[in-house]
Amino acid sequence: MLPDKLHQKLKARQATNSVRKLPSSQGAIDFSSNDYLGAVNHPALARVLQTATRKILKEVAQGISGATGSRLLTGNYPLYDETESLIARFHESESALIFNSGYTANLGFFQSVPQRGDVILYDEYSHASIRDGIKMSDAKAYKFTHNELADLSQKLFKHKQTGTTEVYVVTESVFSMDGDSPDLVAMAQLCQTYGVRLVVDEAHAMGVLGIKGQGLVQLYGLSESVFARIVTFGKAGGSHGAAVVGSIELKQYLINFARSFIYTTALPPHTVASILAFYQMLDKMETSHMVENVRRLKKNINIFKSHIPRTGMDTYFVPSVSAIQCAIIPGVDRVKALSRKLKEHGYDVKPILSPTVPEGAERLRFCIHSYNKKEQLHEVLELLQTELGL
């Protein structure tokens, strides 16, 4: 039996119809996964990965598929160095440090970097991994209104007046629950004016936005203005893991103080090989088959967005130019029922419930992919229009 306090928390979720359950894969049309570029089933990527895997299994792991220990013990095989070097070069940075996931990267960074006496100012819609890392930090943390530079400026003025040692401003280039973006150029300028450090999570921009999928920081020429970036490989990369991108000293510091890096088994060689293969394809975007997938993704986003006004659902959707398109439909029961209706028609569109989003801001989240067809993009919106009675 569970302790009574835990039992009551589960009952409270059940009472609001918001209990989370593990879904089963049922082969519906995909409007829910993070595999924006179809990298999981990309034949060219598979060929690059097979070559890399055969090489590292022969030369590095000698047929062993596991890492055998943390990177500080036995898990730091040469493929890590090669991959981190390419990541750093690709992102115009001095260094990169691979973590086992985006969650552990944010956990390790925010737990270890901001110190007692420092201040963290984070966007109120920041991902749970950022917020959890902040909770583990000795620094004081305050949220600012989502994408509101005026509120951030006010808080920066207040905290710099108190003589705070360091201030870290934290945002995402594409927010996972809305698909929108901050004005990164203005935010970077504001941070420079106040002499504070900007940290950007590029999870949902990596591989999708930018000339070669480098993300919004590089698209806007802000590499020198950002203290650290978190890039992840479980979205457009179709793999697993993440990296903190920044200075050589930052990498050295994280190796010594980020607990989620120090006290965990390293990624297995084939996972690091898949990360390397994905970056190799992005790096040679002009000559790789991935360029067509990026083009199709951008085209599909435009097709989806242009069809929203035709269905009369403009007021439901959050403005977004990313692969994440969200329709705000308040009410747990209502949004879950709409998701079920779409599933009955063969479309997998996930409902996002409170407390993941604020109560009353429940939504359907449409993840657009390079492999979605025009008729699917139209039909799923028209089905939602019908169910909403518009």
Instruction: Give the model's pLDDT for residue 290.
Output: 74
Q: How confident is the model at residue 44 (pLDDT cuts 50, 70, 90)?
A: low
Mean predicted confidence (pLDDT) in 20-41: 83
Residue listed under structure tokens 């000795």: 138
CB 48 within 8 A of CB 280: yes
pTM of model > 0.85 = yes
Give the distance, in angstroms, between the CA of residue 224 and the centroid of all CA atoms in the same chain.
Answer: 21
Handedness of CA 320, 321, 324, 327 (dihedral sign): positive
Domains of the chain: 26-41+290-388 (3.90.1150.10), 44-286 (3.40.640.10)
The predicted structure's pLDDT at residue 65: 65
Cβ atoms within 10 Å of 277's Cβ, excluding its own: 26
- Please name the residues in contact with 86: beta carbons below 8 A apart, sequence gap of 6 or more: 276, 279, 280, 283
Comparing CA positions, the residue from 336, 334, 309 lying closest to residue 390 is 309
- For residue 56, the model assigns a pLDDT of 59
**Buried b or exposed e, range 103-121, using 16+ CB within 10 angstroms:** bbbbbbbbbbbbeeebbbb
Position 62 scores a pLDDT of 52
Q: Mean pLDDT over all residues of the chain? A: 91
Residue 261 confidence (pLDDT): 97
Task: Let me know: does 332 contact 17? Beta carbons within 8 Å.
Answer: yes
Sequence letter at residue 55: K
Classify 167 as helix, strand or coil: strand
> Residue 238: how many CB atoms within 10 A of its CB?
23
**Distance from C-alpha of 127 to C-alpha of 134, rounded to nearest angstrom:** 11
**Rounded to 10 degrees, what is the CA torsion of 313, 314, 317, 322?**
120
List, for residues 258-279, the tens digit of each pLDDT value: 999 999 999 988 889 889 988 9
pLDDT value at residue 232: 97
Q: What is the pLDDT of residues 69-98, one digit of tens each?
A: 999 998 998 889 999 999 999 999 999 999
Q: Which residue has the higher pLDDT, 281 or 386?
A: 386
